[in-house]
Structure 1
């Protein structure tokens, strides 16, 4: 997926030649302005994250974590498949091949339950209290996913891990 191109096109379609107002908030380590941009009352930064075209960059702020969790739950944008996190990609931690999906080892914002598929094809989920939680990776290309609640996991047909 060409994520940057899809994001730019979505933002262009939303803005559609209307005026955007940006309020500078900070400067990053390279001296670039960090701003919150709005189209009317719509926070464009939050909209991009909610659509799955951008990620909440927790290193600097947690402002858009709820929007990211919603995009992930709905499998919008990048969350519809697998991808390298931009900060990992910049550090050279890239998937070996374009078709290879990275194993996700971070929580999905406020959705900490790991939906794992066993070698036998069983769909099980692990809560943070599971003894195997820290050793369980999520590979979205194999159909594995994150859940926000045990009820959500069960409604999707997953069962709890047995201890």
Structure 2
């Protein structure tokens, strides 16, 4: 019985050590940033992809009142405006398929991804984060929700990157 307790304690300690190691792997990036597109920013040469959202691609157009508009460029402009608010702080625990850090980023304490979704210039992506902000933008018919648009993931599939 005593040996079992010791083994159980050892397993628990190993799991806790692994959890601490995983948490310590999180990247922290801070500083002035520039918008690359509607969901990617550049901090000192490192491209950081905003986690939990998907914005239109730069060349993507959407439709409002029967007219096309450059929603991809509008998303980048909105992100650039948000970044002008001061230094950015990002915490990234994973990387995407392009090896960019997937970051939860703030400027002046404001969650940048939430702001982009609230403005209707990005959609909630892969998970439940930002679903409330998306519903709010949709109801208010802001940004993408003022007309029709192809979801960014579908647009990328239809317009693959060329090497």
Q: Report how far residue 9 of structure 1 moved.
A: 1.5
- Equivalent position of 2:131 in the other structure: 65
Could you list the runs of 5+ residues in structure 1 that have no partner in the other structure? 94-163
Say yes or no: does 1:47 pair with 2:89.
Answer: no
Q: Report how far residue 62 of structure 1 moved.
A: 1.6
- Equivalent position of 2:106 in the other structure: 38
CA distance in 2, matches of 1:79, 1:37: 24
Match runs of 1:119-134 below 5 Å: none
Match runs of 1:1-163 below 5 Å: 1-16=69-84, 18-58=86-126, 61-92=127-158
CA distance in 2, matches of 1:86, 1:25: 23
Aligned length: 91
TM-score (norm 1): 0.52
Higher RCO (CA 8 Å, separation ≥ 6 residues): 2
- Equivalent position of 1:155 in the other structure: none
Whether the 8 Å contact between 1:52 and 1:79 is mirrored in structure 2 is: yes
Whether the 8 Å contact between 1:24 and 1:33 is mirrored in structure 2 is: yes
CA distance in 2, matches of 1:87, 1:9: 20
Could you list the runs of 5+ residues in structure 2 that have no partner in the other structure? 1-68
Q: Report how far residue 29 of structure 1 moved.
A: 2.4
Q: Report how far residue 17 of structure 1 moved.
A: 5.5
CA distance in 2, matches of 1:15, 1:92: 30
- Greater share of residues in strand: 2
CA distance in 1, matches of 2:139, 2:91: 30
CA distance in 1, matches of 2:124, 2:78: 18
Matched residue of 1:53: which SS?
A: coil
- Greater share of residues in helix: 2
Q: Report how far residue 90 of structure 1 moved.
A: 1.6
1:84-132 Cα distance to aligned partner (Å, 9 max, x none)? 0111112229xxxxxxxxxxxxxxxxxxxxxxxxxxxxxxxxxxxxxxx
